[in-house]
Homo-oligomer: A and B are copies of this chain.
């Protein structure tokens, strides 16, 4: 995970690589299910062979401890 500043807001961002589009979209859905279960929603960019997940907290326009937890839970989806 890296911390990026996007439009003045700090976000936790990570790219995940896959071998095709279908696998990328399947992971997007896993992350979406996690987000719905936890009530906290990231930005998910789905491309051919790649998913970029960005966690941040709109309300505080930056990073909250919960974003770090969600990042770890996102990684755990693949383990």
Any B CB within 8 A of the CB of A16 = no
Report the bound CA distance from A28 to B47 in whole Å.
11
With both chains docked as a complex, state the minimum distance between the C-beta of A68 and any C-beta of chain B, in angstroms. Answer: 19
Q: Count identical subunits in the complex.
A: 2
**Which residues between 30 and 79 of chain A lie within 8 Å of chain B, taking CB atoms?**
32, 35-36, 41, 43-48
A positions within 8 Å CB-CB of B: 21-22, 25, 28-29, 32, 35-36, 41, 43-48
9 contacts between A and B (CB under 8 A): A21-B32, A21-B36, A21-B41, A22-B32, A22-B36, A25-B28, A28-B32, A44-B46, A44-B47
Other contacts beyond A22-B36, A45-B45: 5, CB < 8 A: A25-B29, A25-B32, A28-B28, A44-B45, A44-B47
